[in-house]
């Protein structure tokens, strides 16, 4: 496992000082270069928590991975650079389950001048770290929220992504996610078993392929480009319409969620 090879994989040649600017740049670079995907489950290939195997797959084979692989690799790289990283567990779509639970999603806490929530393994989550402080955090045209109640936290994802997740700040070890890793790739009830999924961050937004359904979460600028290039309409029309189109999409998503 060579740090230089990993940095080449994510096309990163920037600063290496242990600073927030470096953390943000690395977080972005990882997500822009390495896709989130669960294809090995459907190829009949077991997913492991072995870091050497994860490194070989994501870096040398230039594949993507799911949360245990993506955040496991990123935590290793950050530690190699000198960052103070703590592994945390979370439960997607539900409040924190406590010390014996929270195994279905691996996240990271990085301590700088203050703690930061770091997560390159949520597929369609945030592109840059969030301060581990209750509040609302807009990133470009998407909005995220962190909520705290006593020792429990909840991350609210943007309106068009997967559900958020509950977590505590109880430290974890990568091996401690073995049970969750096994269940999520073998249980017939697991969404990862039922359907293939790929997510990729781009400079314009997020591209998702769920089964055969391709979805793009794009910026206002990209919306204008599509209206103009594909439909041959004046881009100034799209500029005026964007806010209404976006709010209408948000309302539709909420209706779909409530109907399920």
Question: Whole-prediction pTM value?
Answer: 0.87
pLDDT for 159: 83
Residues 23 and 113 in one domain: yes
Residues 190 and 229 in one domain: no
Residues 193 and 240 in one domain: no
Catalytic pick among 27, 105, 158, 199: 105
pLDDT for 238: 67
Task: Indicate whether 210 belongs to any domain.
Answer: no
pLDDT for 254: 64
- Token pair, residue 100, equals 């014996």
Q: Locate tokens 């190829």: which residue?
A: 43
Q: What is the pLDDT along the chain (260 residues), one digit of tens a residue?
A: 999 999 999 999 999 999 999 999 999 999 999 999 999 999 999 999 999 999 999 999 999 999 999 999 999 999 999 999 999 999 999 999 988 889 999 999 999 999 999 999 999 999 999 999 999 999 877 899 999 999 999 999 998 888 899 999 999 999 999 999 999 999 999 999 999 999 999 887 888 898 988 887 766 777 777 777 777 777 677 667 767 776 776 676 666 656 65
State yes or no: is 249 an active-site residue: no
Number of domains the chain contains: 2
pLDDT for 196: 94
Residues 159 and 234 in one domain: no
pLDDT for 258: 62
Catalytic pick among 40, 102, 104, 119: 119
Residues 154 and 253 in one domain: no
Catalytic pick among 67, 104, 158, 181: 67
Distance CA 189, CA 192 (A): 9
User: Residue 13, exposed/middle/buried by CB under 10 A (0-12, 13-18, 19+)?
Assistant: exposed
State yes or no: is 119 an active-site residue: yes
Task: Indicate whether 207 belongs to any domain.
Answer: no
Residues 17 and 94 in one domain: yes
Q: Please give the residue range of the domain that contains residue 25.
A: 3-201
Helix (H) or strand (E) holding 29: helix 20-33
Residues 50 and 157 in one domain: yes
Q: What is the CATH number of the domain that holds 22?
A: 3.30.2140.20
Distance CA 143, CA 6 (A): 30
Distance CA 221, CA 16 (A): 32
Q: How are beta strands 152-156 and 165-167 bridged, if at all?
A: antiparallel
Residues 48 and 130 in one domain: yes
Residues 58 and 24 in one domain: yes
Residues 108 and 231 in one domain: no
């Amino acid at each position: 496992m060579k740090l230089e090879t990993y940095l080449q994989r994510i096309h990163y040649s920037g600063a290496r000082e242990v600073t927030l600017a470096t953390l943000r740049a690395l977080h972005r670079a990882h997500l822009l270069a390495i896709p989130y995907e669960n294809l090995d489950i459907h190829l009949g290939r077991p997913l492991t928590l072995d870091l050497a195997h994860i490194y070989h797959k994501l870096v040398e084979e230039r594949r993507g991975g799911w949360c245990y692989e993506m955040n496991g690799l990123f935590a290793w790289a950050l530690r190699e650079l000198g960052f103070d990283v703590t592994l945390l567990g979370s439960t997607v779509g539900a409040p924190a389950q406590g010390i014996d639970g929270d195994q279905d999603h691996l996240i990271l806490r990085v301590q700088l001048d203050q703690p930061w929530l770091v997560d390159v393994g949520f597929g369609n989550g945030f592109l840059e770290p969030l301060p581990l402080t209750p509040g609302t955090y807009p990133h470009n045209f998407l909005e995220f929220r962190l909520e705290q109640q006593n020792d429990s936290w909840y991350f609210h994802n943007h309106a068009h992504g997967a559900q958020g997740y509950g977590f505590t700040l109880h430290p974890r070890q990568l091996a401690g996610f073995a049970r969750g890793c096994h269940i999520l790739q073998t249980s017939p009830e697991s969404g990862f078993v039922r359907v293939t999924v790929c997510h990729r961050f781009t400079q314009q937004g997020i591209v998702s392929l769920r089964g055969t359904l391709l979805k793009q979460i794009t910026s206002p600028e990209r919306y204008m480009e599509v209206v103009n290039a594909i439909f041959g309409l004046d881009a100034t029309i799209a500029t005026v319409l964007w806010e209404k189109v976006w709010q209408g999409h948000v309302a539709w998503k909420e209706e779909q969620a409530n109907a399920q």
